[in-house]
Chains A and B, each alone.
Chain A
Amino acid sequence: MADITSILPYYIISGLLVGSIYGLATIGLTLIFGVLRVVNVGHGAYIMIGMYVTFWLFTLYSLNPFITLIPAFLVGLALGMLLFYVALKRLLRAPELSTLISTFGFGVILEELAKVLWGADYRGFVYSLGSLYLQGIPLPLVRVWPAVIALGLVIALYVLLYRTRLGVAVRAVTQDPEGAMVCGVDVERVYFLTVALGIGLTTASGALLAIYFQQGIYPYIGHLYTLRAFVIAVLGGLGSPIGAFIGGLIVGVIEQASVPLFTMLGAPNPFGLSVFLTFTLILVILLLRPQGLLGR
């Protein structure tokens, strides 16, 4: 296994690819927390919905999976609006536990709805675009393009937050809701848009994850991503969307590249250790920067 080191670049690139989608999948969580101070415990359910949108539109209507990103985003927007008006709006000044329970409840409702509508089956589809070859090892294009799109969406979000009036308003509300209100910002509207956008990005990331992995989509798949999203959000600094993206990249690269490194060191269970390394790194970062990488 001497040549494992020579293919390390493959691992790093692969880690960046999956990491960028992890990052996007976390941005919605961290955005909503940053602006509303609400932790969306049901986060994974929206990823699941995004995956199902892609799955169904592809299998039923043969729609190009990349195009399904748009309906997935729209469904997310709609769900975000619903979440805000039905639950969060009434709970803005309520104790934290109330919002935790209501977001959790929303997640459960979505999961159970998915189960009632589509059954508990694991679903999957096969969609291929060919492969690039990196050091002689195929790198499927269905993994490259979702990562590129995720990066594009993050750049778009950056532009929105830092180059538009709406972005200024969002950041102002993040920093000081009362101050923003005094300056004429419609705080509730900002809350509303943030939740819609956050959930929209989350379902869009679900669509990208569906294209990336294509298999094993089922009503409870979101749980796998919820934990990851929390880890990444804390790592990047809760409330910082760009931090979340960078956190995603870091977690992606660690997940992938630590495996050959541990193998070289002769560790018996390298893959398991990569999870350990991820959490150790988070501990270290939180010791040095309790607010996370880009948190304030």
Chain B
Amino acid sequence: MVERSWLILGGIVVILLILVGIGYYTTRPPEVTPTTPASTPTVTPTQPTQTPIEVRTPTPTETIAPPVAVPDRIVIGFTLPLSGAFSKEGQLALKGALAAVKWVNEVYGGVRIGGKRVPIEIKYYDDESKRDLVISLYERLITVDKVHFLLGTYTSTLVMAAAPVAEKYGMVFVNWGGASDLINKQGYKYVVTTWTQASRYMAPVLDLISSLDPTAKRVALIWKSDEFNRIVMEGVRSRAQTLGFTIVYDKSFPIGTLDFTPLLVELAVVKPDIIVTGTHFADGLAITKQLADMGINAKLIAVNVAPSVPDYYKSLGALAEGIVFPSEWEPGVWWGPDYAKKLGVEFFGPTPQEFHVMFLAMHGEEPTEYSASLANAIILLVKAIEVAQSLDQKAVREAFSKLDVVTFFGRFKIDPETGFQIGHQSVIGQWQGGRKVIIWPPDIATGKPYYPVPTWEEKKAGRRATP
């Protein structure tokens, strides 16, 4: 017995020492919901004291309600993957939501409706990156919490689970985090998408190459066979055809692939000019590392999703140099009032610089596309409510259809029927000397593209992709 006690004790001590030792030195990112200024409305633990008026008609045919009595606050509900496979993106997005609420309530002064200024409040749950949980939580948000409006969650798979629930209750559903084109092809009447959808997301990479090097024509595509990347690649393929590229390699890998060797060996034989990969964060990291391990070089390598997250560079260091990526938005993309003026449309919300400064002050880090996209969704919802001057779901949905506006995130304009985003455009970035530089489209670029990118050997020897 004595021996056993010692073993248990020893075991516990060893584990604790190692975990604590490691944990102590770790500069881990702040956990979910870092400290926010006391004045910032955060989650409402209880039901809103005042239930919403008229809204939430299960039958979308009901006529628009007349201007309404205004509640003392407008509650916006959503779920986020704060744990599980998409927790990184979910946590980044939440920071954006907090920044948007702060802007609306403190800087803008609340939603201007019915001659009053009404503050907004967010109510969110952790959906743990699980589809089944998404469904029940959205039901809860609608039936128990009785929120006034809904925003989506992050990533197409989860959004596809949430959208039908919103539709069932006839609730406006602002989709800021699901990029699959399919979301708006289901015939939903209340789903409004605010960012560039998959088919148009990565295709500009080819426009970039066309402008840089007319001789680089042999393109290889490697992509994850999930909904999002499949459609991203359809977009890239069709753009390649238009621009006269030859697709010399085009293969997918299953979800959960850890080892890309089977495809990379073939790629080493094919020797393409351009490599375009369709990935999310984890596989994007892994595929970059394995391209480097196998010494597969190309004039330009574009990786989906992963490189736009700063951790990509933290993980790969110099190997990330020169890697090109699409993004919905990046700090430094100053789509401000000037851009709106050029398009001849209204500008609404904080300017990109204001958003950037406010976000930095609140969270001590730069915003990412996920933070910005969720913040943008909230700001657009405020605008739509103001245009509708009503909390009626149908009226707000119609206001979204009419809206053509520029926010810090870029242009917003949807196809009125489907809610498909047609105004916003993605940007192309590149890692140069440890910094993300916007290189496309030219009118908002913050730097010149570095082309052709250094080889893996050169990068390992310390060469950087700075022009």
Contact = CB atoms under 8 A, between A and B. Distances in A.
Interface of A: 1, 3-4, 7, 10-11, 14, 18, 52-53, 56, 60, 71, 74-75, 77-79, 81-82, 85, 112-113, 115-126, 128, 131, 137-138, 140, 142-143, 213-216, 218, 220-221, 224, 227, 255-257, 259-260, 263, 269-272, 274-275
29 contacts: A1-B266, A1-B270, A14-B262, A74-B14, A75-B14, A78-B11, A78-B15, A85-B8, A119-B29, A120-B87, A120-B88, A120-B91, A122-B311, A124-B289, A128-B293, A137-B265, A138-B293, A213-B259, A215-B282, A215-B285, A215-B286, A215-B315, A220-B84, A255-B259, A259-B266, A263-B266, A271-B254, A272-B253, A275-B254
Contact of A75 (B10, B15, B87, B258): B15
B212 interface: no
Interface residues of B, number: 57
Contact of B316 (A79, A81, A126, A140): A126
A189 to B, nearest CB: 9
Nearest to B284: A216
B225 A7 contact: no
A contacts with B: majority SS: helix
B12 interface: yes
A210 to B, nearest CB: 12
Give the one of B259, B270, B281 with max A CB within 10 A.
Answer: B259
B278 to A, nearest CB: 13
A246 B29 CA distance: 41
Q: Which 7 pairs from chain A and chain B are nearest by CB?
A: A124-B315, A259-B262, A120-B87, A78-B11, A216-B282, A119-B28, A81-B11
B258 to A, nearest CB: 6
Interface string B273-291: 0000000011101101110
B126 to A, nearest CB: 11
B2 interface: no
B contacts with A: majority SS: helix
Contact of A216 (B84, B270, B285, B295): B285
Given A4-B269, A137-B269, 9 more contacts: A60-B25, A121-B29, A126-B315, A140-B293, A143-B293, A218-B282, A270-B251, A271-B262, A272-B254
Give the one of A75, A121, A128 with max B CB within 10 A.
Answer: A121
B353 interface: no
B437 to A, nearest CB: 22
A215 B289 contact: yes
A155 B269 CA distance: 36
Interface string B217-252: 000000001000000000000000000000000011
Contacts of B317: 126
A140 B294 contact: yes
Contacts of B59: none
Nearest to B266: A4
Contacts of A137: 265, 268-269, 294
B38 interface: no
Interface stretch (B16-24, B50-58, B398-406, B447-455): B16-24
Nearest to A263: B266
Contact of A126 (B87, B265, B289): B289
B342 interface: no
Contacts of A118: 22-23, 26, 28
A11 B265 contact: yes
A271 B88 CA distance: 27
B140 interface: no
A125 B265 CA distance: 23
Nearest to A4: B266
B263 interface: yes
Interface in B30-75: 31
B257 interface: yes
B137 to A, nearest CB: 19
B319 interface: yes
A150 to B, nearest CB: 15
A128 B19 CA distance: 27
Contacts of B281: 122, 216
B128 to A, nearest CB: 10
Interface string B68-96: 00000000000000011101100100000
Given A78-B10, A122-B311, A138-B293, A18 B251 contact: no
A270 B263 CA distance: 9
A216 B286 contact: yes
A278 to B, nearest CB: 11
B256 interface: yes
Contacts of B283: 216
Nearest to B9: A81
A18 B315 contact: no
B460 interface: yes
A119 B269 contact: no
Contact of A260 (B7, B18, B259, B262): B262
